[in-house]
Amino acid sequence: MSFQPRNVYWAWLSVLVIVLDQISKQLVVRHMDWFEVRPLLPFLNLVHMKNTGAAFSMFTNASPVIFVLLATAVSVGILLWLRRHPSGQTLVAIGASLIMGGALGNAIDRVTRGHVVDFIDFYVGNWHFAAFNIADSAISCGAALLLLDMLLDARRQREAGKVGS
């Protein structure tokens, strides 16, 4: 039997996301003015934006308290899942830990600033994706890993059904 790390051990990844997210946001706040744009690549700028809403600036008039409570509830749920499912679901554990780190990273902004600092501006021609940050990236990557795990699990179940037939 091979060693499988406990799922809860992946929670360190949440801490890493929070630290990198907060450091990057602090650097932007200290060294860039509001709405300042610094080109990095032909498709990527650093910008200093304020987001009072959720993803893609949805719900901009909602109270930051709602978002903090949601991030807290999601994080508690993820921690409970990590503890109750001891091992063997590495992709889910990594994905959930990335989501938790991102949710808490943005929650820290809402508590300390009343808004989230966004600073990554990806664009093609004149089309710009909504500005985002490391926490948002972690949430997106985590969600993609959860989706990948579901697809792989469906494939495994199909293949197991073929073998059993």
Active site residues: 118, 136
Q: How far is it between the farthest Cα atoms of the chain? A: 64
**Residues 10-21, mean pLDDT to the nearest whole number:** 96
Indicate the DSSP class of residue 63: -
Give residue-wise pLDDT tens across range 118-128.
999 999 999 99
Q: Give the tokens for residue 7.
A: 């799922």
How many other CB atoms are there within 10 angstroms of residue 133's CB atom? 25
Closest among 37, 108, 114 to 71, alpha carbons compared? 108
Segment holding 104, helix H or strand E: helix 90-113
Read off the amino acid at residue 78.
I
**pLDDT band at 60, cuts 50/70/90?**
confident
Query: What pLDDT does 2 receive?
Result: 54
Among the listed ranges 3-12, 28-37, 53-62, which one has the minimum average pLDDT value? 53-62
Q: Is the pLDDT of residue 7 over 90?
A: no
Domain ranges of the chain: 7-164
